[in-house]
Amino acid sequence: MSTSKSRTAIIVQTAAEQTIAARANPLQTTSMRIGRLPGATDRSARDARDKADVAGIRMQHIDKTYPGALSKALDDFNLDIRAGELVVLLGGSGCGKSTALRALAGLEDIQAGRIMVAGCDLTGVAANRRNMAMVFQAYSLFPHMTALQNIEFGLEVHGVGKARRRAIAQEKLELVGLGDQADKYTQQMSGGQQQRVALARALAVSPHVLLLDEPLSALDAKVRVQLRDEIRRIQLETGTTTLFVTHDQEEALAIADRIGVMNHGRIEQIDAPKALYQRPASEYVATFIGLTNRLPGDCDGRHAKVFGQWIDLLPGSQSGRARVVLVRPESLTLSVAGSNGADGVIDSHGAGGNAAISNAATFLTGVGVRARITMIHFLGALVRVDTVVASDDWQRWNGGEPLSVTVQLPENQLPAGIGIGSEVLVTLRQIPALAV
């Protein structure tokens, strides 16, 4: 950049282009700063606010319909985020994730509802007065600025002096692991590096809330995993309240304090990753996160009989004969179908010496299904085994419909000699499941 005047001209042009691009495609814009919280104009005020901040974010009863749209993009959407928490909105394309994030940022008008941040009602407050920063999928940095200049620019706009903005920019570059890349231009950096700069630029202005809309979707798989872990590390280190939007369940499970699973413009269930996985409240949530078998069962609302075995049901389960019970692969166990039923037992309960006895009992009482292995997937420490149920058994248990079952177990519990085509007995472990 030869003169500050020419640099300004380039910035203005680039910013204008990006505004146009943002209007044309709201998902393809840049990382940006969206102003300050009202009343938080200096560091001491911000520190005081941070200490007093126990409220985090509260989005209540938000409705949003885009002009001309037949259905609501947000339909009585509710979300609370605690200060310092990282919440992920997860859901398929078009379920309203970006709209929810943009409504929080003040980039979308809403027709109903209220948005509170740190106890302040921000409903209707302009985006540039909300003290939020965003990072989008496309890591569009200003191409004629170095990494350092990109970060400094946002600070300059907010009147931070030259020496201070250089110090902050350098510090944020170090935070994202690019301390030695300060003088690189966009085209000299990889996608992952550019997205790190975008993240540093967002964090440089000490936003109250960090908003990330599919920030990793444009990156290849390995970089995606690295950067996702980095985002979580930085978020924990800075304690920034963060809303992260993705359609990738693995990403969500890996980084979230809590995940809100979205469907048709509202959150269907929100909980910690493990709780969401183990205790899904609906079929949509159970099938969106993780693998699940759909097994036939007779249910009384609290218990189900599946393949002759009783298991507990999760809250929200349906009652009735021949319902579908959603059973995770690791909630099933496999044993070799020996002549007397006592051979080669695999018991993922860790029942130890009782395993052979329980397997013999299984055969005597006729529970479980006989199945043939069709595929074995080695997943490192775990192994996933696909089977097809023997025809006698699917005719008996599944109303005459063929049935496949997938079992997952620790690799070291797969008995020697078992392989594709082996006959096995599949039984259930006592893990609660949802009947739908």
One of 73, 234, 311, 407 touching ligand ADP (CB under 6 A): 73
- Our finding on whether 99 is near Mg ion (CB under 5 A) is no
Query: What does the alpha-carbon distance between residue 432 and residue 338 come to, in Å, rounded to a whole number?
Result: 28
Binders of ligand ADP among 297-326, rule CB under 6 A? none
Contacted by 96, from ligand ADP, Mg ion, none: CB < 5 to 8 Å by type: ligand ADP
Pick between residue 201 and residue 266 the one whose CB is nearest to ligand ADP: 266
Give the separation between CA 290 and CA 39, rounded to whole angstroms: 44
Scanning 1-9, 97-105, 131-139, 394-402 for contacts with ligand ADP by CB under 6 A, the matching segment is: 97-105
- Does 69 bind ligand ADP (CB under 6 A)? Our answer is yes
Q: Which candidate, 280, 284, 267, places its Cα nearest to that of 76?
A: 267
Does 99 sit near ligand ADP (CB under 6 A)?
yes
Is residue 150 near Mg ion by the rule CB under 5 A? no
Interface residue with Mg ion, options 30, 98, 131, 427 (CB under 5 A):
98
- Counting residues that bind ligand ADP (by CB under 6 A) gives 12
Residues 6+ apart with CB under 8 A from 432: 279, 311, 312, 313, 314
94 interacts with ligand ADP by CB under 6 A = yes
* Shortest spacing between CB 415 and ligand ADP, in angstroms: 44
Kindly give the pairing relationship between strand 57-64 and strand 112-117. Answer: antiparallel
Query: What is the nearest approach in angstroms of ligand ADP to the Cβ of residue 95?
Result: 4
Q: Which is nearer to ligand ADP, 29 or 149 (CB)?
A: 29
Helix/strand/coil for 320: strand
Which has the closest alpha carbon to 260: 62, 110, 7, 71?
Answer: 62
Q: Which amino acid type is present at position 47? A: D
Angle between the 221-238 and 162-175 helix axes, to the nearest 10 degrees? 120
In the complex, the smallest distance separating the C-beta of residue 116 from Mg ion, rounded to whole angstroms, is 24
378 interacts with ligand ADP by CB under 6 A: no
Q: Does 111 bind ligand ADP (CB under 6 A)?
A: no
* Nearest distance, CB of residue 189 and Mg ion, angstroms: 25
Taking residue 1's Cβ as centre, other Cβ atoms within 10 Å add up to 13
- Compute the distance between CA of residue 197 and CA of residue 238 in angstroms, rounded to an integer: 16
Q: Give, as ranges, the residues between 68 and 97 that touch Mg ion (CB under 5 A).
A: 97
What's the min distance (Å) between Cβ of 97 and Mg ion? 5
- Enumerate residues 6+ apart whose C-beta is below 8 A from 46: 40, 206
Query: Which positions from 9 through 68 interact with ligand ADP, judged by CB under 6 A?
Result: 26, 66
Q: Rounded distance, CA 295 to CA 316, Å?
A: 17
Region binding ligand ADP by CB under 6 A among candidate stretches 44-52, 95-103, 169-177, 315-323: 95-103
Contact 79, 57 (CB under 8 A): yes
CA 122 to chain centre: 26
Q: Decide: 291 and 346 in contact? Cβ < 8 Å.
A: no
d(CA 379, CA 297): 29
| H helix or E strand, kind and range, residue 144 | none
Q: Out of 91, 260, 296, 329, point to the residue binding ligand ADP (CB under 6 A).
A: 91
Instruction: Choose the stretch contacting ligand ADP; rule: CB under 6 A; options: 92-100, 160-168, 354-362, 426-434.
Output: 92-100
Which residues of the chain form contacts with ligand ADP (CB under 6 A)?
26, 66, 69, 73, 91, 93-99
Which residues of the chain form contacts with Mg ion (CB under 5 A)?
97-98
